[in-house]
Chains A and B, each alone.
Chain A
Amino acid sequence: MLDVAALTAALPRWCAAMHDAMAELNALDGRLGDADLGVTLDKCATLVEQALPDMPDTLEGVFKRCAQATAKASGSSFGTLLTVALMTGAKRCAGTTSLGRTDLAELLTDIVHVLSARGGAALGDKTVLDGLQAIAQALATAPQDAALRPAARQAARDALDAFRDKPNRMGRARMFADKTIGLDDPGMVALQRMVDAV
């Protein structure tokens, strides 16, 4: 279950993980694109940290405040997608005090649809959407009493394994699709670091 206390408590861990992952994500991104994924998320984390002292006390408010922070950080594509995902979270959580397992799965599915419409990627293109979809599915089908964090982490890992040997079909990585076979998608790795942390 996700409520505002759990979400607020997870934010510093998320920020720390993004700082820690900066070099790794830059290096991964540099093999396919412009090597700024780590920098982008590091900036997002710094601005979220600055917003921590005055976080609102609703799920909607926290998602919105985080979206405002990440929107200020960067216009890089992954940063923008993160902002759009957080805005979707805010909209869906309006008037809600907690999200259960199926609510979270539905929220993630919504986010996949919104990001696909905004960014132009489809499921199967080997992007962060495939990782999000895998987590949504894992949560939707998990047993009632299952621990959700381990299920989400495992789903993100499984998605990385499943897509490693497929070609990227989106973004800069698309241009040399065959060379991406065997390489992890940097956005999917970023998602893995996020779910591992929170």
Chain B
Amino acid sequence: MKKILNDPNAYVDEMLEGLCLAHPELQRRGDGGRVIVRSRGAVPGKVGIVTGGGSGHLPVFLGYVGEGLLDSCAVGNVFAGPRMDDCIEAMRAADSGAGVLQLYGNYGGDRMNFDMAAEMLEFEGMATASVRVCDDVASAPAAQGDKRRGVAGLVLVYKVAGARAAAGGTLDQVAAVARKANAACRSIGVALSPCVVPESGQASFAIDEGDVEFGMGIHGEPGIWRGPLKHADALADEMLAHVLPELALAAGDRAAVLVNSVGATPAEELYILYRRVAQVMAERGVTVVRPMVGRYATSMEMAGASLSVMKLDAELETLLAAPAECPFWSVR
């Protein structure tokens, strides 16, 4: 293991400490400091949006706590779900009386802890709703779409839901538009090299020097096939071939596109991928609105990229364009 750290077991807490020093608009809460909230507190009258998940994916999840986005985040160990107590604390911090939407990626540990937290807080009378993002087409067939993992598409769903909440939406309205955004979004990822979970010190998987894992998840979950790395255009074409069919994009449609580095892959290579994605979209007569190319959802030092596409209607497009500000991203 070659990482810049002090104690592997302090990896998450020292990261959070540094992050809040660098971004005073965020604060730590909870008995272990594993809840990230906005320093200005819950916004009166606004539906709170809480997320959570394992560390090791910055800016996902906690990096999207901010204006027009999320209100709080329960932070787990690297690649492990947040504790129930932290989910509860995060929900309390997000609550200003208008209810709280849990919005997070579809993973077993996260779901159990958020479900238990909601049950506890519903005893106290808090109105809660829950939407789990499941955009990764490689992780289950379409017929079992609710079993798919949540990956970079989370960012687009955060943006849509956050904007709706900021615009004064009710809990039902914010949850409904989050579901709609999730249903309109598909993603797939490829990995070229593994990452190392600091606490175990081991690579998350082994892969031969010249190979790519197509369809890999953001924790190193195996994908659809593994073989020699193709040219970028061929890779982009195959990623699109997995992402586009379920969206049924037709000429004249509009779509948001996110080409994301899972960590080590440089922006240059993302633009090489995006170039081809944009060509194919143009050939199909689809207008790409607000292309996003960069590091939005990562697996530490893993090399690789993911492609997310969200089919837009007027509501989703308006919400994506609404102002937002967080430590890693701003929309103006």
Residues of A within 8 A of B (CB): 26-27, 30, 33-36, 38-40, 43, 71-81, 83-84, 118-120, 171-172, 174-176, 179
Contacts and interface: CB of A to CB of B under 8 A. Distances in A.
Contacts of A71: 83-85
A72 B217 CA distance: 27
Contacts of B138: 175
Contacts of B86: 75
A34 B84 contact: no
Nearest to A170: B108
Given A27-B202, A30-B204, A76-B77, 5 more contacts: A35-B204, A75-B86, A171-B108, A175-B138, A179-B222
B5 to A, nearest CB: 15
Nearest to B218: A34
Nearest to A120: B108
A34 B197 contact: yes
Contacts of B222: 175-176, 179
B114 to A, nearest CB: 9
Most B Cβ at <10 Å: residue of A26, A35, A73, A74: A35
Interface in B104-137: 107-113, 115-116
B220 interface: yes
A77 to B, nearest CB: 4
Q: Is the interface of A mostly helix, strand, loop or mixed?
A: helix
Contacts of B221: 33-34, 172, 175
B199 interface: yes
B109 A34 contact: no
A77 B113 CA distance: 8
Interface in B76-95: 76-87
B197 A74 contact: no
Interface in B190-225: 197, 199-200, 202, 204-205, 217, 219-222
B254 interface: no
Contact of A34 (B74, B85, B113, B219): B219
Contacts of A35: 197, 200, 202, 204, 220
A73 B113 CA distance: 13
A74 B112 contact: no
Contact of A77 (B85, B109, B147): B109
B197 A76 contact: no
B140 A36 contact: no
Contacts of B140: 174-175
Contacts of A119: 108, 112
Most B Cβ at <10 Å: residue of A39, A73, A83: A39
Q: Is the interface of B mostly helix, strand, loop or mixed?
A: mixed
Contact of A75 (B83, B197, B200, B217): B83
Given A35-B202, A39-B197, A81-B112, A74 B220 contact: no
A33 B202 CA distance: 13
A50 to B, nearest CB: 14
B77 A175 contact: no
Contact of B77 (A74, A77, A80, A120): A74
B105 to A, nearest CB: 13
A54 B139 CA distance: 45
Contacts of A179: 222
Contacts of A175: 138-140, 217, 221-222
Contact of B200 (A26, A33, A176): A26
Nearest to A46: B9
Most A Cβ at <10 Å: residue of B74, B107, B112, B217: B112
A80 B85 contact: no
Contacts of A77: 81, 107-109, 112
A33 B81 CA distance: 14
Nearest to A68: B85
Contacts of B76: 74-76
B200 A79 contact: no
A34 B79 contact: yes
Contacts of A38: 200
Given A39-B200, A74-B77, A76-B76, A30 B108 contact: no
Given A72-B85, A75-B109, A79-B109, A36 B147 contact: no
A33 B116 CA distance: 24
Contact of B199 (A27, A36, A174): A36
A76 B204 contact: no
A171 B112 CA distance: 12
Contact of A74 (B83, B139, B202): B83
A119 to B, nearest CB: 6
A83 B116 CA distance: 12
